[in-house]
Each structure stands twice: as C-alpha cells, then as structure tokens.
Amino acid sequence: MFKKILIANRGEIAVRVIRACHEMGIAAVAVYSDVDRASLHVRKADEAYPIGPPLASESYLNIQKILDVASRSGADAIHPGYGFLSENPKFAQACADAGVKFIGPTAAAMKALGSKTKARQAMEEAGLPVVPGTSRGLESFEQAKDVAARIGYPVMLKAAAGGGGKGMRLVQDSEDLKSALDSARSEAERAFGDGEVYIEKAIINPRHIEMQVLADEHGHTVHLGERECSLQRRHQKVIEEAPSPIVDPEMRRRMGEVAIHVAQAAAYTNAGTVEFLVDQQKNFYFLEMNTRLQVEHPVTELTTGLDLVHLQIHIANGEPLPFRQDEVKIRGHAIECRIYAEDPDNNYLPSPGKITLLLLPSGPGIRRDSGMYEGWTVPMDYDPLLAKLIGYGSDRDQAIGRLGRALNEYFVGGIKTNISLFRRILSDPEFRAGKIDTGFLDRLLKAKPALTEPNAQTVEVAVIAAGMFATLGAVAAEPGERAGTDGATRPPKPQSNWKSAAFRENLQ
C-alpha cells in the first residue's frame, strides 16, 4: 500500500481525501497557494508545501510544481480531487513518467473520454444514443451559425474540456450566438487552458442523471447506481440525490449497462461517472463521461455503504474490486446540498469574505464535508463551494426531513451563502413530489419567494436581542453563563477569537 499521498487540490475535497488517507494509515501531503495558507486542508495534512501565487495556472494547475512537491515529500501517489488537474491527461502521463501513481484513470482513457467531442465520436461509433450536434470543435462563427440553423434553436455551446458549467452557454436565437461563442471560448480557455467549443441541440428541461462506475486494473467494471442531478443553476449542480425518484431497477440496469460499456470501450480504470440527459419519456442520451471523483460522490457512498475514496486508493494500488455487481445494494435515500459563498439577494453572485460565526448541524443522518471554519477568510480566487451538507434517511421523505432540520441548525455568519435557497427547494411541493428537471431551479427563482410577514413576536425578539448584543458588546461576558451577570465583577478574558475558533474545531 502507498505510504504517502499528495493531494493536488484545496478546499473541502482536499480535506475529504486527507481524511481517507488517515483512515487507511497513509500520510497526507497538502499543497497550497499564497492565499490558502490558512485553509483547512493545510491544517489537516501531515505535510504542506507552498506552490506559488493564487492564480491557479501558477499553482494548482502547475504540473511541474506539483511533481516537485511529490518528489521532495517522497509521496508515492497523487490524488487530484475534482477540478484543477483531475481530468488533465498530460498530468496523468507526467505522474506515470515520474514514477508516482496517479489515483484515477490512465492518460489514454482520459484522452478518449475527457474531451467531450472525442467521447461523442466514440459513442456514435459504438451506436449509443447521443444528442444531435457537432462531434468536433467549432472552427468559426459561420460554422456555428450554420450548424445551429440546421439542428434548430435553442442550442447549447459547450467546452470540449469542460465541466462544472464553465464555458457553457444556452443560446435561444442567432442574435446571441456570437457573444455567447466568444464568452464560452474565453471562459473555457481560462478555466481549462483549451478554448475548443462544440454545439449541441438543447433538450428543453431534461433530467440530468448520472451513473457512478468503478473499474479495477484487472478488467472488472461495476456501476454503483445513479445520481439525480437535475437541480442546476448556470449549469452548475446545486442539489444531488441518490437514487433518482424516476429510475426503477429495470431502468437502472439498462443505464448501468451503457455506463459500463462506455467505460470498458475506453479501457477505463478507477472511479468515473457517465452522465445522461433523460427526456420526459425517460429516453436517455449519453452526455459525457467525467473521468474523476465527483463533487456529489457522498450520496452514492451513503446509499451503497461504500467509501469511494478508499476504493480509488485500493484500485490504484493494483487490488481487484472487492465485490461484484450483484453484491451492490442500494439502500435508503441521500440528498446533498452544495453550500456556496453566494449572495441570494444579489443574483447569487460570489460572496467571498470572512466567516465571523459558524454554527454546525449534526445528529442522525447528517454528513457534512466542509472546507471552512470560523475566522477563515474565503478567498475570491477559487470556486465558491464551501461545504456539502448531506442528509440520509431510510426513504426520500426522511432524508428531506433530516436535511431541512440540519439546514435550520446551520449558520454561516459574515458572508452570504445559498442556505436559504435550500430551505425553499426542500419545501417546494414539486420537489417533494420528485417532479424535477434542469429548468426547475430557474422557474423557482423567477417566482418571487412568498413574502412571509414576520410575526410581531419574532420582531420583538429581534429588538430585544439587538439591544442585548449592543450591551454585551461593551462587557466581555463569558459564554455559557447568565448573560445578565454583572460583567464588571469579572475581568474580561483576553482570548482571541482565532484561538477559541481553533479550539472549538478540535473539539468536534
């Protein structure tokens, strides 16, 4: 088994992988950019190395710097997390050349599948259903215009190297095509270092359902069931759940077979995800394969009882899969909320800043994968994902109930987050009935939230509390004691917030 694993990532996923390493008795090496010195993953790791400026291309995307750290630290494997270098075949190849095991598929499998255009070509050849469009990058605006006119608007522009909604634009008519193409290309170039963009007919309000696959290096491939990821905003997933409310065992079997076929055709190894669009008649079309661990992997972990990061590490270590397809059982229901640093009152624009107060949910059926802590300043340089809150229950209703309860316990002060959005979603009758598609969230956000006039009693509580906080701001009251005790009789304790926050984190 590996002795030491370098995690080429940051944020909650770096913390997630570090935890798996420690559970397996493996040392964890963190890397960090200049603005991430205080980030949680640096604190949780056994070793940590600076890799340069905040700009990702000069730190987390810099292959040479990361391999240098691998060599200096003596790491024998690298886990790429998601995003950054996770789907970069050059990186996978560079690791192999440097004699460090890349925990993921081979460069060849990534090349075959990682580019959305190449994957589309492969699926067309294999006779699997794909959405109409081009299977090669667009060469010019004129070509885009011709293809769009042929397949009919609305169309979707997508980055061939894309993921996470970057470099993706929905175009309703020819007027908007030019500016959409330019911005998609520019965004793709910045995010992935590759401006290739292709075009697809936009299927209106489909469901987005994906299959998790696992393949060992001995030719065994299994699927672990589906995840329903239809709730998206700006093509970025917001809530995911497993299983999907509309997938029955027969449909799961058929989608699983296609997913395994896709993986095996590319001699795929390690964890991967095959994404499908599903129309209203439950026809499914291959969309793309993500050649990495997904953000939403915890819902699969909770419903299968498996640890995907442990399995990734075992597979990379050359071990065969420890179970067969017929041993995979889906049990219960799990739903994940992606907690983003975004301002719900300002069109969900990113809201970096300092977290001044953090109250954490816990209790039955609740899992929290987080990269934040009280006192930390969320940098503006990276993706705004702060944490994932996952609710698990014996059925969907119980999972929703637990998640809603936990969202009420969760409090992030000092920055804006989208927590209130999840309360709205979870209480929506259509969502509760499982009637969701990729247009759900836009429709929900267009409808103004029902203005619930706060009752007089709640306002009175706010008035009284505001005055008390003002009074207490002047006297250093001790937590846990009667706030009314005369502060003057007790000298204020000169403990910094920083220290007490760190202390509380350790107690968890």
Compare residues 445 and 483 and give the one whose CB is closer to other proteins.
483
User: Cα(406)–Cα(139) distance, rounded to whole angstroms?
Assistant: 49
> Count of residues binding other proteins (CB under 8 A)?
59
Minimum distance of other proteins from residue 421's CB (angstroms): 12
Cβ count within 10 A of residue 472 = 13
Minimum distance of other proteins from residue 436's CB (angstroms): 23
The backbone torsions φ and ψ at residue 225, rounded to the nearest 5 degrees and listed phi first, read 85, 180
**Does 482 sit near other proteins (CB under 8 A)?**
yes
Beta strands 357-359 and 411-413 are antiparallel
Cβ count within 10 A of residue 452 = 6
User: Cα(216)–Cα(319) distance, rounded to whole angstroms?
Assistant: 7
Minimum distance of other proteins from residue 411's CB (angstroms): 6
User: Cα(336)–Cα(164) distance, rounded to whole angstroms?
Assistant: 16
**Does 427 sit near other proteins (CB under 8 A)?**
no
Beta strands 221-233 and 207-215 are antiparallel
Check: CB of residue 430 under 8 Å from CB of residue 224.
no
Residue 298 DSSP one-character state: H
**Does 97 sit near other proteins (CB under 8 A)?**
no
Choose, by CB under 8 A, the member of 50, 154, 353, 401 that binds other proteins: 353
Choose among 394, 387, 276: nearest CA to 340: 387
Compare residues 72 and 190 and give the one whose CB is closer to other proteins.
190
Stretch that binds other proteins, among 1-9, 118-126, 199-207, 454-462 (CB under 8 A): 454-462
**Does 442 sit near other proteins (CB under 8 A)?**
no
**Does 172 sit near other proteins (CB under 8 A)?**
no
Minimum distance of other proteins from residue 102's CB (angstroms): 24
Q: Give Cα 246 distance to the centre of its chain.
A: 23
**Does 163 sit near other proteins (CB under 8 A)?**
no
Minimum distance of other proteins from residue 351's CB (angstroms): 7
Is the Cα torsion angle 479, 482, 483, 487 positive or negative in sign? negative
Cβ count within 10 A of residue 364 = 11
Tallying the residues shown for the chain, one arrives at 508
Compare residues 73 and 418 and give the one whose CB is closer to other proteins.
418
Stretch that binds other proteins, among 90-98, 121-129, 211-219, 470-478 (CB under 8 A): 470-478
Choose, by CB under 8 A, the member of 64, 457, 496, 506 that binds other proteins: 457
Compare residues 38 and 483 and give the one whose CB is closer to other proteins.
483
Compare residues 83 and 206 and give the one whose CB is closer to other proteins.
83
Check: CB of residue 135 under 8 Å from CB of residue 117.
yes
Gyration radius of the chain's alpha carbons: 24
Choose, by CB under 8 A, the member of 442, 449, 462, 492 that binds other proteins: 462
Minimum distance of other proteins from residue 22's CB (angstroms): 29
Choose among 224, 249, 387: nearest CA to 307: 224
**Does 357 sit near other proteins (CB under 8 A)?**
yes
Minimum distance of other proteins from residue 431's CB (angstroms): 18
User: Cα(372)–Cα(376) distance, rounded to whole angstroms?
Assistant: 7
User: Cα(83)–Cα(103) distance, rounded to whole angstroms?
Assistant: 14
Minimum distance of other proteins from residue 173's CB (angstroms): 16
Query: Within positions 116 to 145, which residues make up the interface with other proteins, using CB under 8 A?
Result: none
**Does 478 sit near other proteins (CB under 8 A)?**
yes
Choose, by CB under 8 A, the member of 25, 481, 494, 496 that binds other proteins: 481
Residue 492 DSSP one-character state: P
Question: Which amino acid would we find at residue 247?
Answer: V
Compare residues 96 and 463 and give the one whose CB is closer to other proteins.
463
Compare residues 290 and 351 and give the one whose CB is closer to other proteins.
351
Q: Classify the phi-psi angles of 270: left when phi > 0, otherwise alpha if psi is within -120 to 50, otherwise beta.
A: left
Stretch that binds other proteins, among 99-107, 223-231, 277-285, 376-384 (CB under 8 A): 376-384
Residue 450 DSSP one-character state: P
Both tokens of 356, joined, read 């001044």
Choose, by CB under 8 A, the member of 82, 382, 392, 431 that binds other proteins: 382
Q: Which of 120, 292, 338, 367 is catalytic?
A: 292
Stretch that binds other proteins, among 143-151, 269-277, 365-373, 473-481 (CB under 8 A): 473-481
Beta strands 47-50 and 77-79 are unpaired
Minimum distance of other proteins from residue 507's CB (angstroms): 12
Q: Which residues contact 53 (CB under 8 A, 6 or more apart)?
A: 33, 34, 59
**Does 87 sit near other proteins (CB under 8 A)?**
no
**Does 448 sit near other proteins (CB under 8 A)?**
no
* Cα angle value 341/208/154 (rounded, 5°): 95
Tracing tokens 């910045």 back to the chain, one arrives at 190
Choose, by CB under 8 A, the member of 57, 183, 283, 427 that binds other proteins: 183
**Does 71 sit near other proteins (CB under 8 A)?**
no
Indicate if 169 belongs to the active site: no
**Does 459 sit near other proteins (CB under 8 A)?**
yes
Kindly compute the dihedral angle of the four CA atoms of residues 275, 297, 370, 410, in this order, to the nearest 10 degrees: 90
Binding site for other proteins (CB under 8 A): 166, 179, 183, 186-187, 190-191, 234, 341, 343, 346-347, 349-353, 356-357, 359, 380-384, 408, 411, 413-414, 420, 423, 454, 457-472, 477-486, 497
User: Residues with catalytic annotation?
Assistant: 292
